[in-house]
Structure 1
């Protein structure tokens, strides 16, 4: 995200944007709202949608910000132009931003009720633990990140009392399995950086090819999970117009990722996979009114 504001204010705004990585908190907020729509079977109240989005955005943003604090020494070597090691953001500013993002996220969740606040505090603790101690733990760290992604749908479903809706758990499982696979694949593209951190990633311990094979198997599991709603009768055949193209694209790109020859090619395939799965969420919500009418 670029800020055309000239001078020190614009420089600081750009540094904050680099720190937060706004596309990730935005995605978290959108997935929470998607969870609300799926869980309720319709559009949530604007108040509920706004608070859900704000919770996802600010709690995710808080995790992004605190990550740079715990990564400071590594970033001094590997990413010296990140906001903190480059001096564009100070420790005091980072601490203040972490407090603000956490406070706004918790406040939005509290306004949605005690259950929402409890779920938010839980995932916030998991994010802090990951940044502080478990980032180098390999598969456990990968699973913690994937759990945070799946949490967005569960949280969205919870705030509309929709956890009895099986599709909430399907989307949470899809998000978890997909992100776990991409976290493992991402580790295969950053073996050199992980060597410096002594991270216990699958790629570093067992080799890049082994990690990419596991990522590919998780893509197959992603497709298998996507068949459950049709087998159970939760979704009509109308939704196949969304799931089939996504499944084919995921399998195709997962194979291209598995066969990638360079780290840059692998990262490009991972980005493409994320775009495809983002399309799944948006398209599912978009066709829902049409498919419900066709039943």
Structure 2
């Protein structure tokens, strides 16, 4: 039972499920959730499986770092062996690929790029200053675009803007998280952004990126795509996101959690914009 619990924990099931929900939001914002529900559900499940696989392979490669930063993770505490984690990741990736292949060509292309990035992230990109953060940000933003492409929508502009907003806010959150993990990353010889440029300059970069994200959020209201309902939700989301970036200088752990909350509120604004118009 401990091994089963450890395998489930490796996938970070809540994060994976949230990824699937975000894909469905992308399909809805694109106007295709009700038109092509089967494709939307397939895309959502593929996202859940791929996210679980990515989280698992990340723990496989990060097992020595986690022994320092988070020794209660399943591999460091001995609940799951590295080999078991690797096989779990392979199975989940294969299932995600099978589902993705049932979708339109654009969705398959997005899924292919994302899956390759997930596999390569820890070994190739994570330790490069800022590069790993950008890869994760791109994966976060593409989740919405994947949902829109999965339903074959021709109106991807709102989804693309939502993806851009999500990608930029994820970039800031990843920088803040690297500040949290700086001790273990330094001992492993990784050259993350806070290690390369210093903690405060890294947080300044994150704050500037967040300001850029907030700056693009009103565009769909200004061009008439969404109305007042969108604006009423996106303004508090923007305030929360900016506040989180500023608070990261004091408490990075709390700031990255409130940043995630702000991202969900912003996604809700896009849903409200689609519902009300």
Q: Normalising TM by the smaller chain, what interval?
A: over 0.9
CA distance in 1, matches of 2:226, 2:121: 36
Shift of residue 39, structure 1, vs aligned partner = 1.1
Deviation for aligned residue 1:72: 2.5
| 1:86 pairs with one of 61, 68, 77 | 77
Task: Name the SS for the 1:137 alignment partner.
Answer: coil
Question: How many residues align structurally?
Answer: 277
C-alpha distance 237-81 of structure 1, shift in aligned 2 (>3 A): closer
TM-score (norm 2): 0.92
Confirm whether residue 119 of structure 1 aligns to residue 110 of structure 2: yes
Deviating above 4 A after TM superposition, structure 1's stretches of 4 or more consecutive aligned residues are: none
| Whole-angstrom distance in 1 between the partners of 2:33 and 2:27 | 8
Instruction: Call closer, same or farther: CA 1:13–1:282 in 2, change over 3 Å.
Output: farther
- Given that 1:136 and 1:197 are in contact with CA atoms closer than 8 Å, whether structure 2 keeps it comes out as no
Which of residues 208, 213, 229 is equivalent to 2:220? 229
Provide the C-alpha distance between the structure 1 equivalents of 2:194 and 2:103, rounded to a whole number of angstroms. 41
Moved more, 186-195 or 60-69: 186-195
Q: How far did 1:77 drift? A: 4.1
CA deviation after TM superposition for structure 1 residue 12, in Å:
2.5
Question: Aligned equivalents of 2:158 and 2:273: distance in 1?
Answer: 15
Q: Distance in 1 between matches of 2:82 and 2:198?
A: 37
Structure number with larger C-alpha Rg: 1
Following the alignment from structure 1 to structure 2, what is the Cα–Cα distance between the partners of residues 216 and 115? 33
TM-score scaled by structure 1?
0.87
Unaligned runs of 5+ in 1: 1-8
Q: 59, 63, 66: which one pairs with 2:50? A: 59
Larger relative contact order (C-alpha < 8 A, sep ≥ 6)? 2
User: Aligned equivalents of 2:240 and 2:14: distance in 1?
Assistant: 22
